[in-house]
Chains A and B, each alone.
Chain A
Amino acid sequence: MTVLVLLEHDRGELAEAARQALNAARPLAEELGVPVHGVLVGEDAAPLAQTAADFGAEVVHVATHELLSDYGPDAWAETTRQLGDALDADVVLSVGSDRGNEVMAHLAARSGLPFVANCSRIAPNLGPWSITRIQWGGSLLEDVTLAAPRKIVTIAHHAAAATPVHPDCRAVDLRLERFEPELDESVAVTMIRGRDGQRRGSTLSTAPVVIGGGRGVGSADGFSVLEELAELLQGRVGCSRAATNNGWRPHSDQVGQTGTRISPDVYIAAGISGAIQHWVGAMAAKKIVAINTDPDANMVAKADYAVIADLHEVLPAISEEIRRRRDA
């Protein structure tokens, strides 16, 4: 009887999602009166066991097998399924990241069990559990009941960082166990075969300043005033779905439910009305400044600050003012 946490990592580098998952698992395990176990899939993840213990995993299982050389949804799900059976886990939990949701979906399908994705509240009951999960990227909550002998869930992504059990770390004794799943070649079909592409400086999701443009920008060329300000503040340019659909910006610049979630110190949203689709990608920004000609735009209502004027006049004036002060 355990809460089993899938500890997400990439080639031995622990994902923030793993710490968040342990953070979410601790109060749940306490309520159930069972321990928190963590599973690291692959030998290359073994060095992460101490961190997992620091964040509250009472036992860390390192799953090793010659087929577990990299990430693959089937390999990870089958490994987790076998360990869940061996431990008679009450709950198998992860964070609702791309990998977290993918592995849990495969695990649930393989187990013939339900899977509830992106939960924000889990209340264990004797009968079916009461769970609240997010829809529409967090704009809507869905209360559900979950009836299953083993609960497979992911926790909705939190913007906040996870905290260790003891601030000084290394305070928790590490209990490490080896787990050798029985795997055949079939699980290797969906494993990563290679990687390409390269890192480009600060990404949109981690940029401290984002200047976003929407329909109000009016054209691809119109984004030059956003580029100028972004360069001055060493930020990145983002956009709404309307801008992408008009072909003004690549999809990689899109902020929103089906684009990138940003969490900058400041988000300047220029000419963006603030539809749900965009808002859920921008809402983790610490401060939002809206620039819009429409005082009733949703983005203006939700922003901390606003300038009610044409972005094509305001943005150049801001850039000019920054240069003036820096030259002074």
Chain B
Amino acid sequence: MALRILCCVKRVPSPGSRINLTDDGTAVDATHLGFTTSPHEECAVEEAVVLAEHEGGTVTVLTLGPPESVEQLRYAASVGADELVLVATDGAPWDPQRTAAALAEAIKRLETDQETFDLILFGNESADSGGFQVGVRVANALQRPMVNGIKRIELNFDGDGPGSVSARRAVDDGFEVYELPLPAILGVKEGINLPRYPTMRGRLASKKLEISSWEGEAAPGGQALVRLRRPVEQTSTTTILGNSAAAAPAVVDLLEELGVFDR
């Protein structure tokens, strides 16, 4: 039986050294930034593609966001995703409850047409809003088990196909091991793999892939955005210790002064 894996990804700004805001303070001004797939989720897609390659199966990538999110879907296809789904919004940020409700509905809809997804992967949290909850809410709505913070995934097979998943969460002194019956949901963290870069062939193929799309519909939840703002920056003056290797004694003086020299 072919494995079916779903990845939920989010389009996020890719900031450099400073985050600018739009004039009304409700969004990050991405004019000079560009957008990318939230890093944990880029790893989720890679993990799904590797699992599908090894075990035989398909990878569907689902995103909720503005119509421009097709860029992130195409990117996922260029590194191996088979099916793409966009739940479109008007571009305004959706709160976590609303996002999760629309995603859960979308997954139910996808599972009516085809079979249940054996495994659904989310990122541990999105890089921008970082609500730490959308995957958990979706799991609750679908009545499937979910654990977050996963850095290693192994599928366990029984006679008929994949029966359960072993998932490891990195902690300070090693790994916690979880065993979930399938279908299950996992939130993965960057570091679980090193995502591949798209090949030219992958890029070309991704352009032809059809994208299923519909307008998202869900009621807003109890958390409402008022505005974004930058924290007051601590004005620090940088002491320049030198412009060449001749600065080494000054650096070591500093290390002595800070008490980290005598070790």
B contact residues around A259 at 8 Å (CB): 190-191
The 3 closest A-B pairs by CB, nearest first: A197-B174, A251-B191, A114-B222
* CB-based nearest B residue for A307: B247
Residue tally, chain B, CB below 8 Å to A: 81
Q: How far is the CA of A147 from the CA of B222 in the complex (A)?
A: 5
Range of interface residues on A (Cβ < 8 Å): 35 or more
- Decide if B216 is an interface residue (CB 8 Å cutoff): no
Question: Quick one: CB contact mask for B88-102 with A, threshold 8 Å, 1 for yes?
Answer: 000000011100100
Number of A-B contacts (CB under 8 A): 262
Known contacts A102-B148, A287-B258: A309-B247 contact under CB 8 Å: yes
- Decide if B205 is an interface residue (CB 8 Å cutoff): no
**Which of B139, B140, B229, B261 interacts with A322 by CB under 8 Å?**
B261
Q: How far is the CA of A276 from the CA of B230 in the complex (A)?
A: 13
B contact residues around A302 at 8 Å (CB): 236, 238
Interface residues of B, dominant DSSP? mixed
Q: How far is the CA of A216 from the CA of B205 in the complex (A)?
A: 35
A contact residues around B255 at 8 Å (CB): 233, 266, 322
Q: How far is the CA of A304 from the CA of B21 in the complex (A)?
A: 27
Q: What is the CB-to-nearest-CB distance from A34 to chain B, in angstroms, rounded to a whole number? A: 20
* CB-based nearest A residue for B26: A142
26 A-B pairs whose Cβ atoms sit less than 8 Å apart in the complex:
A102-B148, A105-B133, A108-B133, A109-B133, A114-B222, A115-B133, A117-B131, A118-B132, A137-B130, A140-B228, A142-B228, A143-B229, A146-B222, A195-B177, A197-B175, A241-B39, A258-B127, A259-B190, A265-B258, A276-B15, A276-B19, A290-B238, A304-B236, A320-B248, A321-B248, A322-B261
Q: Which residues of A contact B (CB under 8 A)?
A: 10, 71, 73-74, 96, 98, 101-102, 104-106, 108-110, 113-118, 128, 130, 134-148, 154, 189-199, 203, 205, 208-209, 232-235, 241, 244-245, 247, 250-252, 254, 257-259, 265-266, 273-277, 279, 286-287, 289-290, 298, 300-309, 313-314, 316-318, 320-322, 325
**Which of A140, A209, A313, A325 interacts with B260 by CB under 8 Å?**
A209
